[in-house]
């Protein structure tokens, strides 16, 4: 089976490389994915997928097979913007290929996986027709850069597609990634009483009320303990704003915005408790809240979600991780596991719904969102072999376990 699949992927090599080049050439900033979604949907039909459409949120969804084990491959196909200050050696939307490397926005984060999924699907249909022990959903998700997790949350919650297992196409440099730190955003607000600056003793300064809280948060960050394999959580004051009737008055409003990264054992509950304790210690009446992330998709659908993205991680012995390690050995001759530093759509699938999730894709995470995004085309070929074999490897394992 392995030889047959890998041989068929090899035969599609030129198609794979021109497909990823095309995906780079179609600009697809978050919220502006119409063109790329329509392109992907049409291609999946051309490649013989059983179904291909875009859902009410605007995600591209393809389907192959009708077997009992539901597997979802997800690659977000939106990218962050190119800014004026970035220095691109190769133009970001030209899709230039030099010495076996492709350059451009999205060449790491994370269009290659989408191309690989599509070609793997094409090969699966060519060889096996309708006879699969699994149902494979291939998702090109939108708006991930603005709202990690939300596109898949939408598919599971509103489109009623609930996979048993998920594979993410975020960059892993051909390692099997099995978790990530979670993250959340928090606002803390203090209020005071304004007064003329010339009579400041009559006022209560909201900024002064905030200062000891900020100092304690700085200390808290240093006290957070690492938990392997995800490492240490963190807390960062990312913004501070204040209001006063004029620049000659006592400030009566102050607000900080916090970025909190969470390791194993850190949840919304523990994070809120920590902060409430700080506030209590200072006998402060500061208010804590979790903001919502809001936006609008290319189809005009509004979304809003609490800015809480739970931590998730799976053991190396988990059948999904194990199946991926075996597939990696077969496809690229080696297998290594790891975790992401950044956040992914796994916050919805694994973090929120508890659906076992992993990642496997070419590209180095640290190059994401930079002008250095590059793809070694041969790595994409290897990843595509992985994608073609993985559903079988997983399905056989799950069947064995349930016997």
> Catalytic residue among 33, 74, 78, 379, which?
78
Is 365 annotated in the active site? no
Shortest Å distance, C-beta 170 to Zn ion: 5
Write out the E strands in 301-377.
302-306, 308-309, 312-313, 337-340, 357-359, 374-376
Shortest Å distance, C-beta 394 to Zn ion: 23
Q: Residue 188 is encoded by which pair of tokens?
A: 């803390």
Residue given tokens 């997928």 in the structure block? 49
Residue 242 CA to residue 93 CA, distance in Å, equals 41
Q: Which residues contact 277 (CB under 8 A, 6 or more apart)?
A: none
HEC assignment per residue over 187-251: EEEEECECCEHHHHHHCECHHHHHHHHHHHHHHHHHHCCCECCCECCEEEEEEEEEECCCCCECC
Shortest Å distance, C-beta 344 to Zn ion: 7
Q: Which of residues 142-201 bind Zn ion (CB under 5 A)?
A: 170
Shortest Å distance, C-beta 109 to Zn ion: 4
Which range in 18-26, 39-47, 109-117, 272-280 contacts Zn ion by CB under 5 A? 109-117
Which range in 101-109, 241-249, 251-259, 379-387 contacts Zn ion by CB under 5 A? 101-109
Residue 329 CA to residue 338 CA, distance in Å, equals 15
Report the residue number, 275 or 348, with the smaller CB distance to Zn ion. Answer: 348
Is 146 annotated in the active site? no
Report the residue number, 55 or 78, with the smaller CB distance to Zn ion. Answer: 78
Report the residue number, 80 or 204, with the smaller CB distance to Zn ion. Answer: 80
Give me the phi and psi of 229, to 5 degrees please: -90, 5
Residues touching Zn ion, count (CB under 5 A): 3
Q: Residue 301 is encoded by which pair of tokens?
A: 């659908």
Shortest Å distance, C-beta 312 to Zn ion: 16
Is residue 110 close enough to count as binding Zn ion by CB under 5 A?
yes
Please answer whether residues 37 and 298 qualify as being in contact, where contact means their C-beta atoms are separated by less than 8 angstroms: yes
Report the residue number, 5 or 107, with the smaller CB distance to Zn ion. Answer: 107
Exactly one of 109, 322, 365, 374 binds Zn ion (CB under 5 A); that residue is 109
> Catalytic residue among 110, 144, 146, 373, which?
144
Shortest Å distance, C-beta 147 to Zn ion: 12
On the CB side of 202, CA atoms within 13 Å amount to 7
Q: Which residues contact 264 (CB under 8 A, 6 or more apart)?
A: 227, 230, 311, 313
Which range in 52-60, 106-114, 252-260, 331-339 contacts Zn ion by CB under 5 A? 106-114
Q: Which residue is nearest to Zn ion (CB)?
A: 109
Cα 276 to Cα 44, 218, 306, distances in angstroms: 51, 15, 19
Report the residue number, 12 or 170, with the smaller CB distance to Zn ion. Answer: 170
Count of C-beta atoms within a 10 Å radius of residue 180: 29
Report the residue number, 170 or 322, with the smaller CB distance to Zn ion. Answer: 170
Specify the pairing of strand 60-64 against strand 176-180: unpaired
Which range in 110-118, 203-211, 216-224, 391-399 contacts Zn ion by CB under 5 A? 110-118
Which range in 65-73, 105-113, 133-141, 216-224 contacts Zn ion by CB under 5 A? 105-113
Report the residue number, 53 or 342, with the smaller CB distance to Zn ion. Answer: 342
Which stretches of the chain bind Zn ion, using CB under 5 A?
109-110, 170
Cite the active site residues: 78, 144
């Amino acid at each position: 089976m392995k030889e047959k699949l890998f041989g068929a992927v090899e035969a599609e090599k030129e198609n794979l490389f021109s497909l990823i080049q095309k995906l780079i050439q179609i600009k697809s900033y978050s919220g502006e994915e119409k063109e790329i979604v329509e392109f992907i949907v049409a291609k999946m039909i051309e490649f013989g997928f059983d179904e291909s459409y875009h859902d009410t949120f605007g995600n591209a969804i393809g389907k192959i097979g009708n077997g009992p084990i539901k597997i979802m491959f997800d690659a977000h196909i939106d990218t962050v913007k190119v800014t004026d200050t970035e220095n691109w050696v190769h133009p970001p939307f030209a899709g230039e290929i030099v010495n076996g490397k492709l350059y451009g926005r999205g060449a790491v984060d994370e269009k290659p996986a989408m191309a690989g999924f599509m070609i793997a699907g094409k090969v699966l249909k060519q060889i096996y027709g309708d006879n699969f022990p699994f149902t494979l959903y291939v998702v090109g998700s939108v708006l991930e850069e603005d709202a990690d997790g939300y596109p898949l949350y939408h598919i599971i919650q509103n489109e009623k597609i609930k996979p048993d297992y998920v594979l993410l196409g975020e960059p892993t440099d051909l390692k099997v990634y099995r978790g990530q730190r979670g993250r959340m955003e928090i606002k803390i607000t203090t209020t005071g009483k304004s007064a003329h600056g010339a009579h400041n003793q009559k006022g209560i300064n909201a900024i002064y009320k905030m200062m000891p809280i900020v100092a304690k948060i700085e200390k808290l960050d240093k006290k957070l303990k690492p938990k392997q394999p995800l490492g240490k959580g963190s807390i960062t004051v990312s913004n501070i704003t204040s209001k006063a009737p004029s620049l000659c008055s006592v400030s009566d409003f102050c607000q900080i915005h916090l970025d909190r990264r969470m390791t194993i054992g850190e949840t919304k509950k523990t994070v809120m408790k920590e902060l409430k304790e700080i506030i209590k210690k200072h006998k402060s009446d500061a208010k804590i809240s979790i903001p919502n992330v809001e936006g609008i998709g290319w189809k005009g659908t509004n979304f809003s979600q609490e800015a809480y993205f739970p931590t998730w991680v799976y053991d190396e012995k988990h059948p999904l991780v194990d199946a991926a390690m075996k597939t990696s050995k077969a496809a690229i001759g080696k297998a290594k596991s790891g975790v992401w530093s950044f956040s992914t759509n796994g916050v919805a699938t694994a973090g929120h719904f508890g659906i076992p999730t992993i990642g496997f894709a070419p590209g180095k995470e640290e190059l994401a969102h930079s002008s250095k995004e590059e793809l070694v085309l041969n790595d994409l070929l290897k990843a595509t072999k992985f994608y073609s074999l993985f559903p079988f490897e997983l399905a056989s394992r799950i069947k064995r376990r349930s016997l």
